Structure 1
Amino acid sequence: MNNTTLLLDPSDNVGVALTDLDRGQKVALNGLELEIQEFVAAKHKFAIREFQPGEDILMYGTIVGEATQAIPKGNAITLQNIRHKTRHYTKTTGHFNWKAPDVSKWKERTFLGYKRSDNQVGTANYWLVLPLVFCENTNVKLLQEAFENALGFSEPNPYEIQIKNLISGFQNKKITETVAEKPVKNQSRIFENLDGIRFLTHDLGCGGTRQDAEALCALLAGYINHPNVAGATVMSLGCQNAQASILLEKLSKIQKGQPKTVIICDQQQEGTTDQLIQKAIKETFEGLVEANQAQREPFPLSKLVIGLECGGSDGFSGISANPTLGRVSDLIVALGGSAILSEFPELCGAEQNLISRCESEALADKFIHLMEAYNESAKRVGSGFDMNPSPGNIKDGLLTDAIKSCGAAKKGGTAPISDVLDYTEYLKTPGLNLLCTPGNDVESTTGLAGSGANVILFTTGLGTPTGNPICPVIKVSTNNKLAKRMPDIIDFDSGSIISGEDTIETCGEKLLELVVQVASGTMQTKAELNKNYDFIPWKRGVSL
């Protein structure tokens, strides 16, 4: 790769700056030589020919914007001279022939997972405690403190020392501790084969529409059915819209094999809070004893379900990290496993590529319907997919939603699309799946886990601590600077692609090796170590 500039596709009419480009600097792109006419920051784009107002801006071989004024050759592409535009798509799938990657070296590889009775395989073994309504959040937190302290899952907060130092200074007392003295992790684990108890809270369950309650119950059912979950304790007030009966009905539609243990604790039935908590503790402890009987054993990589996500994206996302995820996705699919590509607002502009890869016209129609209905609902409140890029995205080179989307779609690799899932639909078909979620990082990762992803790969160019309560989230940086600046949240650096040390293929294989380690429980992700257990259900309104 040229270490200063890049042309992503031979048909593109703008180049990408891999480093800062100064005015007067001469650059070469695929045999084309030109002089930079004004400063172009790294990750941003520049014109490789002259543009007139209304002419299309091409990247990734497709339309990502249009010129709003004349742009001289060699000038920077900015929000002042372009705006969002996408190519029109058709509803025909065409004839798609996929050349699968060579996976011979991976065919005999295994990871150590937990087998469930429905033939799913978990990459972790958790017990889940969740509320059906926000009224039960306090009781969930009571249970969390009691269980984590008693079972050895809690850790002292290192920032307590800093507060104690401040108190000592305020009271003019001698300081006896320093922030550098980190507390020792509690190692007194009671259940050796239990990776933890995960406690969810949320602000839904009542007061919204009946559709909100239905969607919440479907999402929570997906979490209970998840292969990383051994069983669940459900806290209910009793009178809320999200009834336990709805949750159990949703669960019965997706679960296979022997039903998992689901403990329902209804506060209005039990009486006092003390009676409720005592029942929850007693029955949950019995469930933990049962869950602890599970042990890791080897399984083929075809049992992996990879969630594909990006957040805090930058101008390198579609060049390094996202294509690396695409390579891992292709490898997993070729091995008979599954991958799930989410974030529909960030597929705007990449529709035709995805439609052409759908295995049937019915799937293409479902994808188009979900995309258009979602976009229209956003427009009704004065928004739209074109308003998806955040200030951070724009600052780092993702000027239009189409530029962002065509790079984001690279996470899905090149495989055929075997299924299209609406939000809360559970995975049922191996191969590459599309899942309708917002682009919002936590709402999307929450949805990916709810649809069955047992490992999530998450690319970021700006940095984000996002994790998930039940599914390990591997954070992949797009550039070396981020990996060095925020090593506490980054698990894997794909910046070696930008520097030319790695190809997408070699970087993808290295990342898959890390996936195997994380799936086997031999390595924890930074999000797990930092307890970034983020959970936000999508309230089916407008969230981009």
Structure 2
Amino acid sequence: MSQNELKKIVVKLDPKDNVLVALTDLEKGKIVVFENESFEMQDVIKAKHKFYMSDFHLGDEIFMYGVLVGKVQTNVAKGSLMTTDNLKHAAEPFDYRSFDYTWQTPDISKYKNSTFNGFKRKDGRVGTANYWLFVPTVFCENRNLDVIKEALHNELGYSVSDKYTTYTHQLLEAYKNGVDVENIGTDLMPTANSNRIFKNVDGIKFLNHQGGCGGTRQDSATLSSLLASYANHPNVAGITVLSLGCQHLQVADFKNDVLKQNPLFDKPLLIFEQQNAQSEEQLIAEAIKKTFSGLIEINKLERTPQPLSELCIGVKCGASDGFSGVSANPAVGYTADLVVALGGKVLLAEFPELCGVEQNLIDRCETEAAAQKFINLMRSYDDLAHKVGSGFHMNPSPGNIKDGLITDAIKSAGAAKKGGTAPVVDVLDYTELATKPGLSLVCTPGNDVEATTGKAAAGATLILFTTGLGTPTGNPVCPVIKVATNSILANKMSDIIDIDCGPVISGEKTIEEMGEAILDYCIKAASGEIIPKAVQLNQDDFIPWKRGVSL
């Protein structure tokens, strides 16, 4: 997309497309001239939405991003608004074919000598943070984790609730003194974690979950592999495990999975089993004491300069809008290409949101084995959804549709842009670890938290998360960087947004310039020089996927 195109009020995303995207609100009757052709708006076309470039009839195919995204359901006139009434999801079939893919690598001269300050682990991997992790093997231990979390966070300076505690105290005092609490304002004084005791420990994280017992044994086995991936994560320096004792997910299973993934595992691993403890009080006190000693040790670790090839960046979109595939996703895609060209790893997941672009990704696979694995995972996932009366076509949410993502293929074609254009070096099933430099596809749902949970398990040490409507999603062990598709969102929700891609829409920046700015931010975040908003807020979302139908 050229700089001149971005200055226009509409944009065509691919030469093959037969719809245009409005970059600003267009009134009914307005004449828009694009590529020497005039279009009269038959409806109000709000920014982010699309209108048809010709008269179309029932069954006609509509293309965006150069791929089939839907079929017309009724006769529509040139200049008419695309809606769920006049367009339904459609996507091209896909299969493996021999294809000679050529990648045009981006210019990386600006970054060839760049480094970030990370934590080099003994197994050779490099973390962007230094966390202590609490892992329950079963949901029965969630309450004990909550008690420990409150004690450690409040006393060691990791709590973010101080301002709310102060505000609640203010309301209580007003009530005691007979003052109407409705007269108390909601402006809260910000608090800073300046009282953090362990300066080199970026956080103490807790993986509360609802699994480990009940359900199926397969669920527990998948959970064990997931928790082991988090214990092995390069951002994690030490682990405390709480177990009840009688659950499906036994401590021995967890330890076996840890060593299966990493035979050289040597991090502090503290294990406490409640059914072998004298009392709950003794269990919690002992866990706190031993963890405190562990925190003293990992606080001795320091950041050192590391090459950018040690970055592993997950790319994600959520609460998407009609600008996601126009600004933020392509910009993040350019960042992804830079990281791959520099020898790093990039993880593209959310398989329900790759519907319609499968052939492009298959053609980019470096090996037939990777392509076939992707095909099998996609087809089995979609088949499972259809068996329960659903399907990938039901992925877009009401918010997505309201802001211009009319079909799943439209959403998916835009979502795939955040993976860039590099060849696909590997395809990973859920909880499999990325080991090859380059772009890997990771099987996860589209659900924001299930997807980020899976990316971290695959080894992402930073996640770039684009959003057009705004979402607070974070992750316990992998810093999540929020990238807004538009400046209105970036300004409205500045407390959760880190990067504004609105300048792409306004024409102030090209996709390439924005992509470099995002990488610059990533380098600072990986070095601990910038703390992403989700990390500042302790937005530690964690939802294991049970391999059921989740779109």
TM-score by length of 2: 0.96
How far 1:288 moved relative to its partner? Answer: 1.6
Equivalent position of 2:45 in the other structure: 40
1:472 aligns to 2:479 (yes or no): yes
CA pair 2-440 structure 1, distance change in 2 beyond 3 A:
same
Contact residue 167 and residue 188 of structure 2 kept, 8 A? no
Q: How does 1:204-283 map to 2 (within 5 A)?
A: 204-283=211-290
Equivalent position of 1:120 in the other structure: 125
- Higher deviation after alignment, 249-258 or 165-174: 165-174
Equivalent position of 1:442 in the other structure: 449
- Report the residue type matching 2:462 in the other structure: V
Q: Which runs of 5+ in 1 are unaligned?
A: none
Equivalent position of 1:18 in the other structure: 23
How far 1:180 moved relative to its partner? Answer: 3.9
State the aligned residue count.
544
2:89 to 84, 100, 115: 84
Paired residue secondary structure (1:130): strand
Contact residue 161 and residue 177 of structure 1 kept, 8 A? no
CA pair 287-152 structure 1, distance change in 2 beyond 3 A:
same
Instruction: Tell me the distance in 1 between the aligned counterparts of 2:517 and 2:451.
Output: 25
2:354 to 347, 351, 361: 347
Q: How does 1:387-398 map to 2 (within 5 A)?
A: 387-398=394-405
2:207 to 185, 200, 219: 200
How far 1:282 moved relative to its partner? Answer: 2.8
Paired residue secondary structure (2:109): coil
How far 1:90 moved relative to its partner? Answer: 2.3
Contact residue 93 and residue 364 of structure 1 kept, 8 A? no
Equivalent position of 2:329 in the other structure: 322
1:49 aligns to 2:60 (yes or no): no
Instruction: Tell me the distance in 2 between the aligned counterparts of 1:10 and 1:342.
Output: 27
Contact residue 55 and residue 67 of structure 1 kept, 8 A? yes
CA pair 143-42 structure 1, distance change in 2 beyond 3 A:
same
Question: Pairwise CA RMSD of aligned residues?
Answer: 1.6
How far 1:161 moved relative to its partner? Answer: 4.1
Instruction: Tell me the distance in 2 between the aligned counterparts of 1:69 and 1:152.
Output: 61
CA pair 274-518 structure 1, distance change in 2 beyond 3 A:
same
Instruction: Tell me the distance in 1 between the aligned counterparts of 2:159 and 2:98.
Output: 52
1:412 to 394, 400, 419: 419
Equivalent position of 2:139 in the other structure: 134
Instruction: Tell me the distance in 1 between the aligned counterparts of 2:342 and 2:267.
Output: 29
Deviations 1:412-431 (A, max 9, x none): 10000000001111111110
- Higher deviation after alignment, 159-168 or 139-148: 159-168
Equivalent position of 1:515 in the other structure: 522
1:311 aligns to 2:318 (yes or no): yes
Equivalent position of 2:339 in the other structure: 332
Instruction: Tell me the distance in 2 between the aligned counterparts of 1:366 and 1:358.
Output: 10
Contact residue 258 and residue 265 of structure 2 kept, 8 A? no
Q: How does 1:277-296 map to 2 (within 5 A)?
A: 277-296=284-303
- Report the residue type matching 1:182 in the other structure: M
How far 1:531 moved relative to its partner? Answer: 1.5
Paired residue secondary structure (1:19): coil
- Report the residue type matching 1:24 in the other structure: G
1:374 to 364, 368, 381: 381
Equivalent position of 2:542 in the other structure: 535
Deviations 1:485-505 (A, max 9, x none): 111111000111111111100
1:451 aligns to 2:458 (yes or no): yes
- Higher deviation after alignment, 77-86 or 277-286: 277-286
- Report the residue type matching 2:24 in the other structure: T
Instruction: Tell me the distance in 2 between the aligned counterparts of 1:145 and 1:404.
Output: 40
Instruction: Tell me the distance in 2 between the aligned counterparts of 1:184 and 1:35.
Output: 53
- Report the residue type matching 1:199 in the other structure: F
Paired residue secondary structure (1:488): coil
How far 1:196 moved relative to its partner? Answer: 1.6
TM-score by length of 1: 0.97
